[in-house]
């Protein structure tokens, strides 16, 4: 893993800053509290989200800001990855928001948990870390805060050993032992319960013998029923053949009876036809009229009278329209006369004339009155003229209506005469048709009588043929009775066979159940024995085996840790009298001239050398032991040189160059480290805002 850059927005003392981190050894230099550690926390937040017990959202989000975010770009093997996480201040505190991650240009929106799962997978960390709030693996392989490193050295041997187990995932042996103990306890309970419920084997075997005997008896009964059923089937076939022969004769009889019925029906139909034809002849003869008189032709044609009626009707409508218009003009004149009379009545009561706006005095009143009188007189003359026109129009209208009524009466008379002549022609034509029908019907009666004689003859012949089959039905009934008795016996046999089969199935099921019960008994016995063997192996051997495996692994790790620790310590401290190693409980032990020295009694530079050697050894061992982890080429050291001399700084530079890490980030407020590194990033705080410069 190699970090390319990290962008902070409203994170701790940063408003907005992008920090690019090159390959090689880079120093983040600045005073205490300038914001160096904030960059490391932002990187850890981008990778794993909020870490309970290490930092919270409230401690990350800048004071006064409602939103903040971290965007981290890094490479893992051949993959380029960018992760974006966001924070938001809410009424319930600062909360993580959904973010996104991008792998080789393909972006995915994701929740905080989903981003963590993707990062853990990319880094090769165990998937179980997704549900854990702390990532101790990252803390002890990549970035260990200064205080956390001092804390692990001050802890008791048990606490330190437990932490080493968790970092290396060796605590799994403890969990396996606990789970094995629980499993052994459950096995013991199951064995006891199964032994108490184990059935009596002899009673099961007795049931097996009884069921097998019953099944044999039922099979013999079934064979006898099958033989009898075959005999009944043979008798049924013989009866069926006899019935088929009689049925053939019955078909012949049926055909004769059907023909007889058809002949009878035909005879009835022909007789009825003759009767109906004679009645029809008589009816038609009664309807012939010999006294028809031809009526005279009408003087006027109805069509000509209808045309005259239309002209008279149009004249009436025109006169009505003209009278209506004259009446309209008369109403207008009367309204004008009424308006003039109204002006005359109101002019004396007004102070100002409504028509001309003048002041109404006696002269003006007289003038207006005279004008209205003249207007009324003129209108009365017009009215008299229109009334005279109206009288003339109404007189003409009366004349046209009288003429229209006369034409209507003439039209009705012409229509009546025309209808009478048409009726005469119809009656005459009907008389001729009736006479023709009578002649045709008489011929038909003669033909039908010939047919009736032939049908009567065929009826007599059929009656004689049918008499020959008079005993057929008795033979059929006798055979059908025998067939029914055989079928009933067959049904009884079939039912008995079904019952026998059902009993066989029932006994077979019980037999199978007994066999399964015996098999289950034997299987349960074997299972109890297997579980008893397993329980013995778990309780007497497995736990001890796990202890041996764990001790072997721990010893291997401790030896590798001790070797690495001594190598780093000796590289930092050039004193043949002062030596350090790691005991079996992973506790650093310092000796001087063969005597143990308490770490608290060491100088500042020596204490720092112990802590740094322990930190580098842990990084070396974890990366060596957990090959799948992909963070072995990145190392972050927080304030690693407290109390170092210039000579020790030179030795540190040599150590860092020898490490197999492509990117090393040092965090320190000591300027003397600048000569050790290849790249320098200065961090300073101005007006409570951190800035990073090269």
Instruction: Give the separation between CA 349 and CA 359, rounded to whole angstroms.
Output: 12
Task: Confirm whether 519 is domain-assigned.
Answer: no
Predicted confidence at residue 477, as pLDDT, reads 81
Last residue of a domain, one of 438, 467, 496: 467
Q: Is the separation of the CB atoms in 693 and 40 below 8 Å? A: no
More confident residue, 562 or 468: 562
Average pLDDT of the segment spanning 197-215? 78
Answer positive or negative: Cα dihedral of 645, 649, 655, 659: positive
Q: What is the pLDDT of residue 294?
A: 67
Q: Is the dihedral of CA 343, 347, 351, 357 positive or negative?
A: positive
Which of 449, 467, 485 is at the close of a domain? Answer: 467
Q: Is 647 helix (H, G, I), strand (E, B) or coil?
A: helix
pLDDT band of residue 591 (cuts 50, 70, 90) is very high
| Within-domain flag for 636 | yes
**pLDDT-wise least confident of 297-301, 543-547, 653-657:** 297-301
Structural tokens at position 22 = 């090159």
For 640-664, how does the pLDDT look when each residue is reduced to its tens digit (9 = 90+)? 888 888 888 888 888 888 887 899 9
Q: pLDDT for 29-54, tens place per residue?
A: 999 889 999 999 999 999 988 877 67
Tokens of 414: 């012409």
In a domain? residue 211: no
**Rounded distance, CA 72 to CA 20, Å?**
10
pLDDT of residue 164: 78
Task: Find where tokens 């004396």 sit.
Answer: 348
46 burial (CB, 10 Å; 0-12 / 13-18 / 19+) is buried
d(CA 383, CA 143): 122
The pTM score is: 0.52
How far is it, in rounded angstroms, from Cα 397 to Cα 310?
Answer: 15
In this structure, the chain runs to a length of: 694
447-466 average pLDDT score:
78
Last residue of a domain, one of 435, 467, 499: 467
Asked if residue 371 belongs to a domain, the reply is: yes
- Provide the pLDDT for residue 296: 67
How many domains are there within the chain? 2
319 vs 140: which has the higher pLDDT: 319
95: CATH: 3.40.50.300
Is pLDDT above 80 for 241?
yes
Q: How far is CA 467 from the centre of its chain?
A: 80
Residue labelled with tokens 């009366």: 398
pLDDT number for residue 685: 93
Question: Which range marks the domain in which residue 673 is found?
Answer: 2-139+626-693
Q: Give 488-506 pLDDT, tens digit per residue.
A: 888 888 888 898 888 888 8
Tokens of 23: 């390959």
Q: What is the CATH number of the domain that holds 367?
A: 1.10.287.510
Q: Assess contact for 595 and 542: CB atoms under 8 A.
A: no
pLDDT at 604 over 80: yes
Residue 628 in 3-state DSSP? coil
pLDDT of residue 554: 85
- The residue that leads in pLDDT, 153 or 376, is 376
Distance separating alpha carbons of residues 403 and 315, to the nearest angstrom = 11
Q: Where is 73: in which H helix or E strand?
A: strand 67-76
Cβ neighbours of residue 491 closer than 8 Å, sequence gap 6 or more? none
pLDDT above 90 covers a percentage of the chain that reads 19
Query: Within 10 A of 422 (CB to CB), how many other CB atoms are there?
Result: 11
d(CA 497, CA 499): 5
- Identify the pLDDT of residue 117: 92
Instruction: Pick the more confident residue, 103 or 246.
Output: 103
Average pLDDT, the chain: 84
In a domain, 356, yes or no: yes
- Token pair recorded at residue 7: 């962008």
Q: Is the pLDDT of residue 119 over 70?
A: yes
Assigned domain for 550 exists:
no
Checking if the pLDDT of 298 tops 70, the result is: no
Whether pLDDT at 266 is above 90: no
Q: Looking at the domain assignment, is residue 415 inside a domain? A: yes
CB atoms within 10 A of CB 450: 9
Asked whether residue 210 is domain-assigned, the answer is no
Residues 6+ apart with CB under 8 A from 258: none
């Amino acid at each position: 893993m190699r970090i390319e850059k990290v962008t902070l927005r409203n994170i701790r003392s940063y408003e907005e800053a992008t920090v690019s981190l090159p390959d090689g050894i880079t120093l983040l230099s600045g005073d205490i509290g300038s914001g160096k550690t904030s960059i490391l926390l932002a990187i850890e937040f981008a990778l794993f989200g909020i870490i309970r017990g290490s930092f919270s959202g409230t401690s990350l989000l800048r004071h006064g800001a409602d939103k903040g975010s971290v965007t981290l770009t890094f490479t893992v093997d051949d993959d380029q990855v960018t992760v974006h996480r966001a924070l938001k201040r809410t009424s319930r505190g600062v909360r993580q928001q959904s973010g996104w991650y991008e792998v080789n240009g393909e972006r995915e929106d994701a929740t905080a948990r989903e981003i963590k799962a993707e990062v853990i997978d990319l880094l090769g960390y165990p998937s179980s870390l997704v549900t854990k709030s702390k990532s101790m693996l990252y803390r002890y392989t990549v970035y260990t805060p200064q205080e956390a490193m001092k804390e692990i050295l001050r802890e008791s041997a048990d606490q330190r050993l437990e932490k080493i187990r968790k970092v290396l995932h060796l605590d799994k042996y403890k969990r396996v032992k606990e789970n094995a103990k629980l499993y052994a306890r459950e096995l013991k309970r199951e064995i006891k319960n199964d032994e108490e419920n184990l059935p009596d084997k002899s009673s099961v075997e007795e049931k097996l013998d009884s069921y097998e005997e019953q099944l044999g008896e039922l099979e013999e009964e079934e064979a006898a029923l099958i033989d009898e059923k075959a005999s009944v089937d043979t008798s049924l076939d013989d009866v069926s053949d006899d019935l088929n022969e009689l049925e053939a004769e019955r078909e012949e009889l049926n055909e004769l009876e059907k023909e007889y019925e058809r002949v009878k029906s035909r005879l009835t139909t022909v007789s009825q036809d003759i009767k109906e034809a004679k009645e029809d002849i008589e009816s038609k003869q009664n309807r012939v009229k010999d006294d028809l008189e031809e009526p005279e032709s009408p003087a006027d044609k109805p069509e000509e009278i209808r045309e005259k009626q239309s002209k008279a009707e149009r004249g009436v409508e025109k006169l009505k329209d003209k009278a209506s218009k004259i009446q309209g003009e008369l109403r207008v004149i009367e309204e004008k006369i009424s308006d003039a009379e109204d002006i005359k009545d109101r002019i004396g009561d007004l102070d100002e004339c409504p028509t001309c706006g003048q002041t109404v005095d006696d002269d003006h009143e007289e003038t207006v009155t005279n004008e209205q009188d003249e207007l009324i007189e003129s209108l009365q003359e017009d009215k008299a003229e229109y009334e005279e026109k109206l009288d003339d129009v109404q007189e003409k209208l009366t004349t046209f209506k009288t003429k229209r009524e006369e034409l209507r009466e003439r039209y009705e008379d012409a229509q009546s005469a025309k209808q009478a002549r048409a009726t005469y022609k119809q009656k005459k034509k009907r008389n001729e048709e009736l006479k023709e029908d009578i002649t045709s019907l008489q011929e038909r009666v003669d033909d039908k009588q010939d047919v009736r004689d032939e049908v009567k003859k065929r009826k007599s012949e059929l009656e004689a043929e049918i008499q020959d089959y008079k005993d057929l039905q008795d033979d059929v009934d006798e055979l059908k009775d025998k067939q029914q008795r055989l079928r009933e016996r067959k049904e009884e046999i079939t039912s008995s066979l079904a019952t026998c089969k059902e009993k066989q199935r029932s006994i077979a099921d019980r037999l199978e159940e007994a066999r399964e019960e015996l098999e289950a008994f034997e299987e349960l016995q074997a299972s109890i024995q297997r579980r008893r063997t397993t329980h013995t192996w778990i309780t007497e051997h497995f736990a001890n085996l796990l202890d041996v495996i764990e001790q072997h692994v721990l010893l291997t790790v401790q030896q590798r840790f001790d070797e690495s620790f001594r190598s780093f310590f000796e590289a930092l401290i050039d004193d043949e009298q002062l030596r350090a190693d790691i005991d079996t409980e992973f506790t650093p032990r310092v000796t001087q001239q063969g005597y143990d020295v308490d770490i608290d009694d060491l100088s500042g530079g020596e204490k720092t050398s112990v802590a740094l050697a322990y930190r580098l050894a842990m990084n070396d061992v974890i990366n060596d032991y957990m090959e799948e982890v992909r963070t072995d080429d990145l190392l972050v050291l927080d304030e690693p040189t407290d109390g170092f001399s210039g000579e020790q700084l030179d030795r540190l530079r040599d150590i860092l160059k020898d490490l197999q890490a492509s990117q090393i980030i040092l965090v320190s407020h000591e300027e003397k480290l600048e000569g050790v590194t290849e790249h320098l990033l200065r961090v300073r705080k101005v007006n409570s805002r951190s800035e990073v410069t090269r």
